[in-house]
Every structure is written in C-alpha cells, then in structure tokens.
Structure 1
Amino acid sequence: MNRFKRLGWGLLALIGVLAVAIGSFTYHLKPDYDGETKLRGLSEEVQVYYDTYGIPHIYAENDADAFKALGYVHAQDRLWQMELLRRIGSGRLAEVFGKDLLGTDKFFLALGVDDYSSETIAKVNSNDESVQLSLAYLDGINQFIDEGPTPVEFYLTGTEKKPFVLKDVYNTLGYMAFSFAMAHKTDPLLSRIKDKLGFEYLKDLEIDSDTTTLWIKNYPRNRADSIQKSISEVMSSLEKLSIPLFEGSNGWAIAAEKTKNGKVIFANDPHIGFSQPSVWYEAHVSTPSYEKYGYHLAGVPYPVLGHNRKLAYGMTMFENDDVDFYYEKTHPTDPRKYKKGDEWKDYEIISKTIKVKDSDDIHFSYKKTHHGPVLNGIADQVTGERPVSMWWVFTKVENQLLNSLHNMSYANGLGEFKKALEGLHAPGLGIVYGDAEDNVAYWAAAKLYTIPDSIHTKFVSEEGKGLPVEKEYLDFSENPHTINPPWHYVYSANNQPDSIAGMLYPGYYLPENRARRIFQLLESKGDWDKEAVGHMINDNTSPVNVEIVTMLLSKLKIDGLSTGQLKILDALKQWRGDYPKTSIEATVYHKWMYCILKHIFKDELGDILFEEIMNTHLIKRTMAPIFANENSIWWDDISTLNIAESQTDIVNVSFREALQNLETTLGEDSASWVWGRVHTIEHGHPIGQIEALRSFFNVGPFGVNGTREVINNLYFPYTEDGVYKVSSGPSTRRVIDFSDVENGISILPTGQSGNPFSEHYKDQAGMYVNGEFRKMMLNKEEIVSTSKSQLTLKPDN
C-alpha cells in the first residue's frame, strides 16, 4: 500500500512539474505589454501605453523611432499573421502547409506578384521618406524576431523565423490587390456558360450595368451625367487557412448640415473574410510632427484606414474590372510559338521552384504572352486545349502603393489627401473621407482605362480581339468622385457608380440592397449624432428582400398547406425584412431562396457550374431581377422533358421543399427555426483546422444577427443543409464625430492580438456579435491615466 502511495505522490509531483513547465512556457510566449525593452537604432526613448483592449498608443520624439516601435509591438501581437501574408504573393505557402497548397503557390507565382515586387524594389528611391519609415518599421519587426518569444504557430508548423525585407511589404500589398478576385471567379465562368448554353441564357444574368438601380452619384457633375474550378480552389485554399479576403464594404460621411452638433460624422465597415486574428491591427502613433489612429495590415507600416483630429478616411472595394482574359492561338506545327497580330512570337517560358514541406522541391514552368501568363495547367477553371492568358493592371503599371499609403497617412487636408490617392492603381478602392473643416468626399481610386462599347470585358476575348495590351488610361480627375454635394452626404456600398468620363466602368458591382437602405436612412434624418450612426452601422433590414417576398407570395398557392405552414405564410406576409437572431421568417426566407435558385440554375448548369456561380457577386445582382422576370428562359426545368415549368411552378415547388427540409433538419416545431440557430460565425485560425486544437485557436461559433446584403453585411454561402456559416463581414465598425473626435467608437471582430496566450486574443468577440463599441482614444492625458500597462522602449546604441 505504501508503495502505491509513493507512486501516487510521484505521479502528482511529475504532473506538478509538467504544469509548471507548461505554465512557464506559455507565460514566456505572451506579448510583453509592460516593463522596459531595448531597441537598437532608437534615438530617443519611446513610451507605449496599452489601453483596456490592448491597443498601443505610441509616443515618440521623432517619426523614425515611432515606426520602429510600431513594427516591434505589431510583431509581438501579429508575427504569425505577418508571416502568412508575405508568403501568399511569393508562392511560399506549401513550404509551411505541404503539397495541398501547391496549386495556390503556382497560381500566385504565375500571376507575377513576386516578380513585380522585385521590379518595384529595384526602382525605389531609398531616400524617400516612405521607404525610410518603412525600413524603420521592418527593423522593429526584425528586432522582435531576434529577441522576442517565438509564436506558438512557428513551433507547431516547424517554420523558421526569418527577417522581413521591403519586398515582403510589396508582396503583402500584392495579396491585397488580388484578394478581390471576382474577375477570376466570373469571366471564365461566363464564357463556359455562353459556350454551353448560348447567349440567350446570359441575358438575364445581370452581367451589364443596370440603369434602373441606385447608383453612386458624382459631384461636381459634367457632360457624362446622363449615362445612366480553379481559381475557386485557390480562393478556397486561402479561406481554409483563414486568410482574410477583401469582399465589399460600407462607408459614408455625413456633412455638418445633417448632423445634430454641426460637424461631420464619418462611418466605415470594410467587409473582409473573417479570420483569427482579424485583418486589422489598431495602433495610435503620435510624434511632434505626426499623429494617426490607424488600422494596419500585417507587415505594412502605413494604415489603410485612419483618423486624427483633422480628418478621417476609410475604404470600400470599388469593384471595377481590372483583369482581362484572352484566348491565344498556338502555331499549328510549332507549340513554342503563338500568334500576335500577323506574326508568330515565341512563348516566354518562366521556370519556378517551390519548396514543399516534408517533400522534395517542385519545379514547374508556365507560358507567358504579351497579354500575361497562360493559365492552362495553373488555374483548373481554365479548361480545354485553347490557351487562355490573363492581363492584370496591378502588374502592368508603376507600383506607387507604399508611397500613396504614406501620403494618405501624412495628409493634412482635402487637397493633400486627394493627391495621395492618385497612386492607388489596384485593387480599385472606394475611399470615403470626412474632416474637421466640414468636407465630405468619395473617390474611386483605381487605374481606369477606356473601353469601347463594342468590347465586352466579362468574357474571354477571342485571339486578336478584345482590349489592346497598351491601355488608354484615364486621368484621375475622370474617376468617379463626389466632393461636398448639395445633398450633404457621401457613401459607398460597392454599388454601380455613375460616370464622369463619358463611359461606364465595367465591374462586379454589388446589388443596390445596401445602397438603398443607406440612402433611405440618410435621407430620412437631418440631426444625426454618433449614437444614431452607431445604430445605423448595425442595421439588419433589407427593403429589397421584403419586395422579393411580396412578389413571390403573390405566386404562391395555398392548396395542401398545413395549418402550421399557413401560419408561417402569414408571418412572411408581415415580415419587415429584418434579421435578429430570433427571427423565424429569416430562416424560412433564405431556405426558400436557395431552393428557388437551385431549381432555376442547376438543371442547365450542372453541379460544378452551379456551385461556381453561387460564389460570385453575379448571383447577388441577379436574384431580384430574375425573380421579377416571369418570362426568363431559366425558369423552365430542362430535365423534365415535354413539360415547360413556369415561374409559378418553381416558386410553389421550392416553397414546399423548403418547409419540408426545415422540418427534417430543425424539427417539426417551427418555433425552433430561429435565425441564430442556423446563422453562425466562427473566426478560424489556420491551426484551428486541426480538430483537437480548434477550441484553443478558433473563436466562436456564435449565433449572430444580420445577413447578406444588409448594412450589417454578414455574408455566407448558400448550402444544401441550410446551415449558414458566415465567412465575411464588417472587419471593423468605426464611427467618428468631429464634434467629439476624442471619443470615436470602434470594434474588432475578435481582439487586437493574434497571440492565443494574450488576454486580448478574443476580448471583443462578444461585443462585436452584440453590436457594441469601445472608445478609440486620442487624448494623451486620458490614455496615460487609464492605461492598463506601459512598455518603455529604450535606445540600445
């Protein structure tokens, strides 16, 4: 018995030692928010005050010291995220995650992001302030790499920490440029539909500009005012790694004439794929010559979103078409050549090597023409023997992105800020602006070019046709823009812009749903304040969905419906198009929509093309118009021979199918069909794909309000099982009232830190789901007095 007792005590002692060891290990992996640390190259001491939510407020005597400190504190919270983002554009994900990411690496290498970054670095002026401050920021990152604790993800994946260089910044910006990838998802798909079914089936797919929807108006006006599997697999790979992809966004600025306190109110909520950590890192940086409360991409020194006491700016996706696809003609007897005009030219052969975890290096090559890379064999969605090449504006013009972000960050007013935007060439961004001088503005920041009416950009162009490689670029003054309009507000909801250049800008614009709601709310009120705008940015109502339901209900026959089903029908008739977690109508509506879309499209498209079209902006634009068009060719089910289904037939079959599916999956009691049960959000971490580690690295799931294409835009893909897992949405919600600029409000989806051992890893997640906010502090006295911890960075010279 004594021997067993001694054995028991020995085991307890061993467990105790292991617990101490694990506790010590995890303690040293935490970010260091307090104490003193020496940094090489600092000229003066820097103070970093952390607020209640782990936001660093950096006070330095000069800008170089401030950006060095920013790099250091950014790295200790987000080094793993920095590592992932710099690897995407350079084709180095398989080196960490193995052969499953080979296709993604090949695709990005073929796009030429890494080569373009190398070309850019060779041309930069190392004396430019934008470069000097970027190098200071990178030096801060690298000192953390040298001296700080290694994030746990590096241990788990066996990834070696390596220094960051300026090229990494440009590769990360290249990933951002590609992440809005609607052209890659849409153009080859539309060409395949055209080839399979004919042009007749394209007429009702809303592939062109819609003159009947709400457009973003320009001001001042001018002469043009009367103009009214594959890449999908690449994107899926990035989504599985929980790498944020840019999707859409809302932004608006309300002029002083429409606010209670007589000053501009600014709001912005960029819609980006959810991930853990979330995409933005907040930091407040202050020196005698510079101050900005900014939102930073991992590994990028200048904020993409920001504000100070003078001005505020944010972004939406402009959604313009900046990619063109071309069929190439290979020589009939010499496969090394292709036709360019009247001549035969040699394909350029590009060879690359990819390092693969736990495997030999992979060597591959691809062809390139004057248009760009040939995607056959690189992107599986490009099928058939005909070579298809891709032209992308991002890699075709001088890269001024870093300089533009610097100049935006340092701008002191409207004129300087507008000038800074001229260098933003891709991706196209809708920039919303407001300032303390009562200016409000919107600009479409992109490198736009003329497109003749005879050329359709949403198909693969035949050899020798389509847009020429040498584009006729527009001056920035011809981009859509609105400055201090007489209606006293500006906004963007990724909807169709009006024209200034005498032409429409082809794109992948979102439907008018959010725009109509924003317009409706802004027009209805003349005394806006911060609290009202905060409520508006969480709005969950869709007037368009109410119109769709009303129209479909007029086609519905009640024969054979049970008492319970008739009760659901009555509830839908009273539905206001809102999406609280308790809504039953919301659950029924979306199940019904999916069943209708499946019956409309799947018989003609088949499983693969149906899945592809359901993941495009195109399907969102198409829903309301095609539901309203009872004569569309798509309504007939071609699988039922000698029977011509009508819209009424499909609407009724789909409604009954939807109710039956809900009874099967959620139970016969419709009172339990609440929206929050099926509409959930989980913030995934790459390591969280491993089931045993999911609960540690992932955040959620939570039942959540909102839906697709409302202001609180929580996008989910439609699925057969009726479980709607939210994949993207507001990456932050910000509201800034220039009558009280030191009390701006914001929220992040999870938390400030990407370190799972940090107390700020997920401390905002519950607030985010509930539509709550926290303060964005600017007042130094308040920051110092309420600071939770203080990190002092001292020179080590």
Structure 2
Amino acid sequence: MKKYKKILLALAGLLLLVIIGIAIFINSLKPDYSGKKSLPGISDEVTTYFDPYGIPHIYAQNEKDAIKVLGYVHAQDRLWQMELLRRVAKGRLSEVFGEDMVKTDKFFLSLGIDDHTKATISNLDKQSETIALSQAYLDGINEFIKQGPTPIEFYLTGIEKEPFTIEDVYNAVGYMAFSFAMAHKTDPLLTSMRNKLGDDYIRELAVSSDTSTVWIKNHKGEETDTLGTNITASVTSALEKLPIPQFEGSNSWVVAPKKTKNGKVIFANDPHIGFAQPSVWYEAHVSTPTYEKYGYHLAGVPFPLLGHDRNLAYGLTMFENDDIDFYYEETNPSDSTQYKTAEGWENYEFVNKTIKVKDGDDVTFTYKKTHHGPILNNIADQISGERPVAMSWIYTKPTNMVLHALFGLSHATNIEEFKSALPNIHAPGLNVMYGDAQGNVAWWATAKLYEMPDSLSTKFILDGASGNEEPLRYLDFSENPMAENPPWNYVYSANNQPDSIAGMLYPGYYLPENRAKRIVQLLDAKDDWDKESISEMILDDTSPVNTELITELIKLFDVTHLNNEQLVMVDSLKNWNGKYSLTSTSPTLYHRALYYMVKNTMEDELGPEMFNQFLSTHLFKRQIAWGGKMETGKWWDNINTPDVVETREEMVIKSFSDAWNSLVEDFGPDSSQWTWDKVHTLEHEHPFGQVASLRKYFNVGPFPVNGTREVINNLAFPYDSTGFYKVNSGPSTRRIIDFSDVENSISILPTGQSGNPLSKHYDDQAQMYVNGEFRKMMMNQQEIEETAESVLIFR
C-alpha cells in the first residue's frame, strides 16, 4: 500500500509539473506590455504607455523610431490578423486552412492584386519618406517575429512565421480595395435576371438612382442565360469563406461651428465592416516633437486610415461607386487563343498560378486575360463553353499611389495639404470626411471616376468586342462629388447617392436613403450640438423609412379577417416609432413579414438560387421600400398560378399571415414574447470558432443587440428563411472628436484592442460596445502617464 501511495504521489507531482509547464507556456504567449526591450535600429529610447484598454501611446524623439515601435506593438497584438490579411491577394489561404480555400485563392490570384503590387514595387522610389517609414514599420513587425512569442494560432495551424515586406502592405490595401466593391455580386446577376425575365421586370427594380430620395449635396430579348448567376454564386461562395472581414458601408458627419454649442467642429465616424475576431482596427497614439497622430490602423499598414490630432480629424465611408465592369468577350472560332477587339483579333494572355494546399497536393491552374482583365469562367468554376466574361477593375490599371495618399492624409497640417493627397486614391472609392480646429468641414469623394457612353448601364455585362462600350475618359478630381464648408453647416455620408458636379450620373451601388434621411433629419433640426448629443445620435436606431413603408402596407389589411391578437399587433405596428429596442416586438414582426413579402413576390420568377443571391446585394436593400410602395407591377403576380393574377394587397396579406404563423411556431402564440432580443444577436467569430470545442475560447459573444439594417446604429444581418438575424456587419468603431475638447474625444471598439486570445484586452470592450458606451481617446501626456496600466521601453 505504501508503495502504491508513493506511485500516486509521484504521478500527482508529475501531473502538477505538466500543468505548471503548460501554464508557463501559455502565459509566455501573451503580449508583453511592460519592461524593457532591445529594438535594433532605433536612434534613441522610445517609451510606450499602455492605457487601461491596451492602447499604446508611443513617445519617441523622431518619427522613424516611433513607427518602428508601432510595428512591433501592432504585431504582438495582431500578428495572426496581419498574416491572414497578407495571404489573401497572394492566394495563400489554402496553405493554412486546406482545400476548402482553393476556390477563394484562385479567385483572388486572378484579380491581379499581387501582380499589380509587383509592378508597383518595381517602380518605387525607395528613398521617399513614405517608403522609408513603411520599411521602419515593417522592421518593427519583423523584430517582433524574431524575438517575440509566437501567437497560438500559428501553433494550431502549424505554419511558420515569415518576415513581412513592402509587398504585404500593398496587398493588404489591395484586398481592402476589392472588399468595397459590389459589382461582382450584382452585374452578372442582373444580366441573368434580364435574360431570363425581360426588361419589364428589370424596370420594376431600383437599378437606377431615384431622384425622390435623399442625395448628398455638393458645394462648389434573348434565350435564358445562367452564366451571370453562376459567376455571382461562385464569387459569393469564394468571399464567404474568407477568414477576415469585408468592408460594407459607413456613416460620418462633421458639424460646423455654427451648429455646435461650443462653436467648434464636431466630427463623427463609424465605418461599417464585417464583424470578426479580432476586430479590424488597431488604435495607436504616436507622438514625437514634430509629429502626432491618434490613428486607426489596418493590419500590416503603417499609416492610419482614420485619425486625428489637435488640429484636424479625418475618417472614411465607402463611396460605393462602380469601379468594376464585366465584358462579354468573343473568342475567334478558328483560333481559341484569340479574342475579338475593335482593332481586330488579339491573343489571350495565359497566366499560370500554383496554390500550395495544406495536407494536399499543389493545385496548378491557368486563366486567360484580355485587355479588360481576367476571364472569370474557369476561375469561378463555370460550365465549359459558355461565353467568356472578363472583369475590368480600375484598381489594377493606373499607377498605385494609395500608400502615398495615406501618408499624405496622416501628415497633413491643414485642409489644403490634406486635399492635395486625395487625387492619389484611385481605388477603393472613398468618401473622405474632414474637420479641423479652424472651423473647416469638408467631404470629398475620392476615386478614379470615368465617363461611359450615354444611356449605357454598367450594371449589366457589357459588349467587349465592339469597342463601343468602353470608358470615354477619366474625370479630373475636380469633377468628383464634394462639399467644402457648405452654407448648411455640415457634411455627411451614409453611402447614399451623391449629386453630380460633372453633369452626369456617377454609376454606383449606393445604399438606400434610410440612414441618410435620418442623419439629415436630425442634423437639420438642431443648432446646439455637443459631444453628448452626437454620441446619442451615433447610437440612433430609428428608421423613418421602415415606419413609412409599414404604414403604407397596413392600409391594405382587411381587419375583419384578423383575430384579436393580430388586431393588437397591427395596431402596434401602426403606432411603431421605428425604434429597435431589445424589448420591442414590432421589429420582429416587421422583418419577418418583410422577408416573406420579398420571397412571395420574387422567388417564383427568380428561383431559389437566384433569389438568395439577390438578397445579398445592395440592390435588394434599395428595392425594399421602393418595390413595396409600387401599387401594381409584374413582380406581385405569382407565375406558378397561371389562372390567377395576384395583387399587391393579396401578397402583403399572405406575407403577414406567413410571418405570423412562423413566429407562433418559433416562440408560441403570445406575441408579447416576440421581442427583438430573441432574434437579433451579435457574435464576433474567429476562424477557429467554427470548431465547436474552440468556440468559447476564440469567439466573443453572442450578445442580443439593439439596432438593425440601415439605421444609424447599423447592426446589419442577412435575410434568410430562418427568421433569425445574426448580425454580420456594423460599426467597426464609433469615434467622436470634439475640437472644443480634443483630449476628451471618445471612441469604442467592438471587442478589444488585442487579437491575442490570451490578452486581457481581447474582449474587454465588447460589453461596452453592446451597451452603447464609450471611452476616451487620450492625448494628454500627463494623464496618459498617470493612468497607464503598464510601460514598455524600447532601447
């Protein structure tokens, strides 16, 4: 017995040592926020204070030292995110996740982002300040790779850490540029819809801009064709597998001194991006004797895309301009290596690529290119023999100066310097918002815009062989939409249609007027804005458009066919104020009925696959209110009942009935239990969270959340048959800069500053974000030093 006890004690001791060893190992993988470190290449000591939310405040004697430290601390919190982002354009996700990512890698390789990057880098001025500072940032990342702990994701996937290069920076920006685009989801699909149903149906869609909606004001017959459906389906499938978020939309408004209580500019911005863990932005405050900026950084990009200092603030929303066009190409019937152009037959360019696949054989593939761009047919797994479709994307055409633009924006000291950097942004199309301490407010749409022939819609696949459907000219930046210090004393953007300066419509995939209408409604009504009231506005979840639509549709109800409980709910909908609080039931019934209305009116013509693709487009968002208010039209009729022609009234009543029955099935007959919190939830998903056993360690949430699609607090979700609304995109930060009190400006992140699951800052802002709370963006050095959670000194 004594011997047995000794064995048990020995085993227990061994187990304890193993547990201690594991604990020590896991602890060693955490970011290091305190102490002293050697950082080769810096010329003087750099002190980094980490505030209570893990945000670094970097104090250095020169900017090159500061940005090298920024690279180091950014990497220790976000190296895994940097790794994934740089792999997208190079088609290297399959190396990490296996064969499931091959289609995605094929697609992104074919876009030519990496090839365009290589061409850009071959012509770079390596001595320019932009490139010198970028390299310093990369040196900081690479020093962390050498001496810092390896993030746990690298152990779990088995991939090796590799140094970062300037190519990785450009490729990250290239992914961002494509992420903004919507044409790949819309143009091929619309072409198939037109070919299948005819022009009469297309005329009843909100394809063109509606002049009755809120626009941003400036100051100063054929056989059915399935190819478009196939392209849209394949591209959507490729993008859905991405383990990093896509950019979606955004709000921003800047209020001039005449409309603020303290007589100073107030700036607000909340870019809408797909939710993921880690969240998109890394906050950092950099201060030197000659440069200071509080900025929001994309993983692996040295200069902030959003930023402010004591003198000026800037932010972004998505312009939503059309910068991708699709072209039908015509292959030479006697020589399959050639295609037709206006000048005669030209040779296809054949591009060979190889994808390395984890636990599998390399995948080698070849795709063709024309002067327009890559042929998508084989890339997107199309049926062999269908008409070739090429994708023309403005990003890969002009010289790439986007990194220089970001340097210029982050180093401008006044409105003139700031504006001079904007023409360097050719893609992605951005609404750049600006405000400063001198009282200036401005908005500029930045993109390389081009004019197409009159009456030509770029929302459909174009004719690539004739030469008659090509861009006529590029617009000068002065012809882009913009407003500088307008007499109405504010500027704003909510991804809605801008008015024209050049006397032409700017083609785009603009979002409906819902958010814009609410922003204008609130800003026009008040002339004493302050930080507190702006922070309430940025959380506003009221939709005037939804209430207008439901009021219109309820008029169609025959109340004699409703039971008492349904009468109560209809009365509640009549009096609904359009708010989306967690305890409200009206939003739940509204969205359930709205889904059925769209399904009942459109799925019979489109079929299930095309219908589901349509739901993922901005066009669908524009169609909801516009289509619902159409009293007559071809879509209302159910083509599966040829002996009956259904009306809007019949379809609306049927949809309400379908919604009611489905809610009873999900939540029971007591409609008071159909509250918004039961259906509208947010979970920030990490790629590893897809594994059930790892979900609780890597994902953050889920949380019931206020808000909805297309309100200012735009917590959006896809529509599907489940009737449950899992939020997949929304404000990637909410930030408010008040120039009457810059050092107390406020912001929030959706989860936390760190992407390392072992860091205390992985999710320490998540509940605050859901609650609509803010924290300070500190810039006062004394306050930073006194409240710092830790100090990390680099020598």
Q: TM-score range by the shorter chain?
A: over 0.9
**What residue in structure 1 maps to residue 92 of structure 2?**
92
| Structure 1 contact 232–381 (Cα < 8 Å) conserved | no
- 1:563-712 aligned at under 5 Å gives the runs 563-712=564-713
> Equivalent residue of 1:193, what SS?
helix
Match of 2:53 in 1: 53
Secondary structure class of the residue paired with 2:36: strand
Q: 2:481 touches 2:498 (CA, 8 Å); kept in 1?
A: yes
Deviation by residue 1:49-78 (Cα, 9 ceiling, x = unmatched): 000100000000001101100000000000
- Gaps of at least 5 residues in structure 2 are 221-229
**Residue 314 of structure 1 aligns to a residue in which SS?**
strand
Give the Cα–Cα distance (whole angstroms) in 1 for the partners of residues 570 and 3 of structure 2.
73
Structure 1 pair 291–169 and aligned structure 2 pair: CA distance change class (3 A): same
Is the 1:326–1:466 contact (alpha carbons within 8 Å) kept by the matching residues of 2? no
Shift of 1:464: 2.9
Aligned counterparts of 1:118 and 1:167: Cα–Cα separation in 2? 7
Deviation at 1:561, TM superposition (A): 2.3
Equivalent residues in 2 for 1:178-197, closer than 5 Å: 178-197=178-197
- Say if 1:234 and 1:357 are closer, same or farther in 2 by CA, change over 3 A: farther
Q: Any idea what SS the aligned residue of 1:169 has?
A: helix
Amino acid at match of 1:554: K
Q: TM-score scaled by structure 1?
A: 0.97
| Equivalent residues in 2 for 1:15-30, closer than 5 Å | 15-30=15-30
Distance in 2, Cα, partners of 1:362 & 1:687:
24
Q: How many equivalent residue pairs?
A: 786
Name the CA shift for 1:157/1:101 in 2 (closer, same or farther; >3 Å).
same
Q: Deviations over 1:520-560 (max 9, x none)?
A: 00001000000000000000000000001001100112234
- Distance in 1 separating the partners of 2:303 and 2:468: 35
Q: Aligned residue for 1:224?
A: none
Q: What whole-Å deviation, never above 9, does each CA across 1:308-345 have from its counterpart, x for those lacking one?
A: 00000000000000111110111112111111125111
Instruction: Tell me which residue corresponds to 2:441.
Output: 440
In structure 1, distance between residues paired with 2:124 and 2:575: 61
- For residues 509 and 246 of structure 2, the distance between their equivalents in structure 1, rounded to whole angstroms, comes to 16
Contact 2:453 2:469 in 1 (8 A): no
Q: Take 2:672 and 2:598, find their aligned partners in 1: how far apart are those partners? A: 26
The residue type equivalent to 1:521 in the other structure is: L
- Counterpart residue identity of residue 13, structure 2: A
Matched position secondary structure for 1:335: strand
How far 1:449 sits from its partner (Å)?
1.0
Distance 1:698 1:422, change over 3 A: same
Aligned position for 2:786: 785
How much has 1:10 moved relative to structure 2? 4.3
| 1:452 aligned partner | 453
**Match of 1:311?**
312
Deviation at 1:586, TM superposition (A): 0.6
1:630 to partner: Cα distance: 1.5
Name the CA shift for 1:645/1:231 in 2 (closer, same or farther; >3 Å).
Answer: closer
Contact 1:542-1:577 at 8 Å conserved across structures: yes
Between the aligned partners of 1:536 and 1:236, the Cα distance in structure 2 is 36
The amino acid across from 2:135 in the alignment is L
> Counterparts of 1:359-398 in structure 2 under 5 Å?
359-380=360-381, 385-398=386-399
8 Å Cα contact 1:455-1:467 kept in structure 2? no
Does residue 773 of structure 2 align to residue 772 of structure 1?
yes
Distance, in Å, in 2 between the alignment partners of 1:29 and 1:463 is 54
Tell me if structure 1 keeps the 8 A contact 2:104–2:241.
no
- Give the Cα–Cα distance (whole angstroms) in 1 for the partners of residues 355 and 63 of structure 2: 38
Give 1:676 deviation, angstroms: 1.0
**Partner Cα distance (1:58, 1:149) in 2:** 21
Cα distance in 2 for residues equivalent to 1:28 and 1:241: 29
| Alignment check: 8 A CA contact 2:176 2:247 kept | yes
Contact 1:329 1:339 in 2 (8 A): yes
Q: Give every structure 1 segment of 4 or more consecutive aligned residues whose post-TM-superposition deviation is greater than 6 Å.
A: 381-384
The 5 Å alignment of 1:347-358 reads: 347-358=348-359
Deviation at 1:181, TM superposition (A): 2.8
Partner of 1:717: 718
Task: For residue 379 of structure 1, report the CA deviation from its aligned partner.
Answer: 2.1
Please give the alpha-carbon distance, in whole angstroms, between the structure 2 residues aligned to 1:188 and 1:622.
Answer: 18
Deviation track 1:476-527 (CA, whole Å, cap 9, x = no partner) reads 1110000000100000000000000111100000000000000000001000
CA contact (8 A) 2:233 2:613 kept: yes
SS of the counterpart of 1:336?
strand
CA distance in 2, matches of 1:327, 1:675: 46
Superposed CA offset, 1:599-640 (max 9, x none) = 011000001100100000000101111111021210001011
Output the CA distance in 1 between the equivalents of 2:21 and 2:670. Answer: 52
Partner Cα separation in structure 2 for residue 527 and residue 462 of structure 1: 54
Residue aligning to 1:252 = 253
Distance 1:358 1:486, change over 3 A: same
Q: Residue 733 of structure 2 corresponds to which residue in structure 1?
A: 732
Encode CA deviations 1:233-271: one digit per residue, 9 max, x unaligned. 545554444411010000000000000000000000000
| Amino acid paired to 2:518 | R
Q: How does 1:188-267 map to 2 (within 5 A)?
A: 188-220=188-220, 229-267=230-268
Distance in 2 between residues matched to 1:393 and 1:241, nearest whole Å: 22
CA distance in 1 between counterparts of 2:742 and 2:589 reads 43
Alignment partners' CA distance in 1, 2:117 and 2:591: 43
In structure 2, distance between residues paired with 1:20 and 1:437? 58
Report what 2:758 is aligned to: 757
Q: Is residue 375–residue 388 contact of structure 1 (8 Å, CA) maintained in 2?
A: yes
> Counterpart of 2:560 in structure 1: which amino acid?
D
Q: What is the deviation of 1:362?
A: 1.0
Question: Aligned with 2:776: secondary structure?
Answer: strand
**Secondary structure of the structure 2 residue equivalent to 1:681:** strand
* Cα distance between partner residues in 1 of 2:449 and 2:609: 33
Work out whether residues 293 and 307 of structure 2, in 8 Å CA contact, stay in contact via their aligned partners in 1: yes
For residue 423 of structure 1, what is the aligned residue in structure 2? 424
Aligned-pair distance for 1:462? 2.2
Q: CA deviation at 1:380?
A: 4.4
Q: Is the 8 A contact 2:453 2:472 kept in 1?
A: no
CA RMSD of aligned residues (A): 1.4
Q: 3-state DSSP class of the match of 1:39?
A: coil
How far the C-alpha of 1:426 sits from its partner, in A, is: 0.6
Q: Pick which of 166-175 and 454-463 moved more.
A: 454-463
The structure-2 alpha-carbon separation of the partners of 1:238 and 1:758, relative to structure 1 and needing over 3 Å to count, comes to farther
Tell me which residue corresponds to 2:224. none
In 2, the alpha carbon distance for the partners of 1:111 and 1:95 equals: 19
Amino acid at match of 1:450: E
User: Using the alignment, how far apart are the partners of 1:231 and 1:560 within structure 2?
Assistant: 42
The answer to which of 241-250 and 611-620 deviates more is 241-250
* CA positional deviation for 1:453: 2.0
Structure-2 residue corresponding to 1:744:
745
| Equivalent pair of 1:242/1:276 in contact (CA under 8 Å) | no
* Secondary structure of 1:624 counterpart: helix
Alpha-carbon offset, residue 452 of structure 1: 2.5
Q: Which runs of 5+ in 1 are unaligned?
A: 221-228
CA distance in 1, matches of 2:385, 2:615: 23
SS at match of 1:266: strand
Distance 1:662 1:543 in 2: 24
Determine if contact 2:44/2:61 at 8 Å carries over to the other structure: yes
The residue type paired with residue 530 of structure 1 is: K
Counterpart contact for 1:231–1:380, Cα < 8 Å: no
For the residue of structure 1 that corresponds to 2:332, the secondary structure is coil
**CA offsets 1:712-753 (integer angstroms, 9 cap, x no match):** 001100111111000000000000100000000000000000
* Matched residue SS, 1:791: strand
Counterparts in 2 of 1:166 and 1:71: CA distance versus 1, 3 Å: same
Distance 1:308 1:382 in 2: 54
- Taking a change above 3 Å as real, the CA distance of residues 467 and 571 of structure 1, as seen in their structure-2 partners, is farther
Contact 2:101–2:241 (8 Å) recurs in 1: no
Aligned to 2:161: 161
Q: Give the corresponding residue for 1:124.
A: 124
* SS at structure 2 position matched to 1:742: helix
Give the 3 Å change call, closer, same or farther, for CA 5–654 of structure 1 in structure 2: farther
**Equivalent pair of 1:51/1:787 in contact (CA under 8 Å):** yes
DSSP 3-state at the match of 2:786: helix
* TM-score, length of structure 2 as denominator length: 0.97
Q: In 2, Cα distance between the equivalents of 1:67 and 1:167?
A: 18
